[in-house]
Amino acid sequence: MSNALSSSTLRILGIFAHPDDPEFSMGGSAALWADQGHEVYYCIVTDGSAGSNDPNQDLRELVRIREEEQRAAARVLGVREVFFLGYKDGVLEPTLELRRELTRLIRHLKPDRVVCGDPTAFFYGDEYINHADHRAAAEAAVTAVFPSAPTRPIFPELLAEGLEPHQVKELYITADQADHIRSTWTFPPRSNARSKPCAATPVRCRSAMEIGCAIGRQKPAKPPV
């Protein structure tokens, strides 16, 4: 990875709780942005070890499979690299430790745009109770974008690692419908910055989702993701 991008090339980082979350949250957008020449990266916060209710499932094998699936799905969409933080799946909290790790990644990668879930979303319609890990990852991601990453006195230990403050220019919050961005925040704020749906590339997006769901999910014992 080079830190020298042309002025028209964006570096974009999607931060999500579980392997396969990026595919249903921003898969079409990731493919579109990669096709446009932008650099797209994912950060997956948990290890995906709660992705099966099968009592005979080897959970270490499940972690390995889901990581492999996530990398394969990312390749289909043109995502350059996937960073795995390895937190335990199902019990994620927006801790200072997680916020520090995300701040470290943001200061290292220097993304122009960060995409994450909605930390305020408890329910999606009357069909889905949002997984608590999704909210926790989103809260930590938003807080890492602002104020942690651009504020010098926050996490001074990162300065000691040579990681200077970084201002993300845009924060995109995903919606409950696949491949749409619900809202956008810019730094500094712009009055017309909100609500920017992104077109999907359906075939590749579907292909990536099939990869992301094919191996690590056993029916009928599949819990909600």
Q: Which residues bind Zn ion (CB under 5 A)?
A: 18, 21, 225
For the bound state, the minimum distance from the C-beta of residue 18 to Zn ion, rounded and expressed in Å, comes to 3
Which is nearer to Zn ion, 18 or 38 (by Cβ)? 18
Strand 11-16 and strand 39-46: the pairing is: parallel
For the bound state, the minimum distance from the C-beta of residue 19 to Zn ion, rounded and expressed in Å, comes to 8
For the bound state, the minimum distance from the C-beta of residue 176 to Zn ion, rounded and expressed in Å, comes to 13
Which is nearer to Zn ion, 121 or 225 (by Cβ)? 225
Which residue is at the shortest CB distance from Zn ion? Answer: 18
Which is nearer to Zn ion, 123 or 199 (by Cβ)? 123
DSSP 61: H
For the bound state, the minimum distance from the C-beta of residue 156 to Zn ion, rounded and expressed in Å, comes to 33
Work out whether the CA dihedral 105, 107, 113, 115 comes out positive or negative. positive
Which is nearer to Zn ion, 165 or 212 (by Cβ)? 212
For the bound state, the minimum distance from the C-beta of residue 134 to Zn ion, rounded and expressed in Å, comes to 6
CB-count burial class (<10 Å; 0-12, 13-18, 19+) for 155: buried
Q: How far, in Å, CA of 113 to CA of 50, rounded?
A: 29
Which is nearer to Zn ion, 128 or 197 (by Cβ)? 128
Question: Distances from the Cα of 105 to the Cαs of 54, 98, 124, in angstroms?
Answer: 34, 11, 29
Q: How far, in Å, CA of 169 to CA of 187, rounded?
A: 5
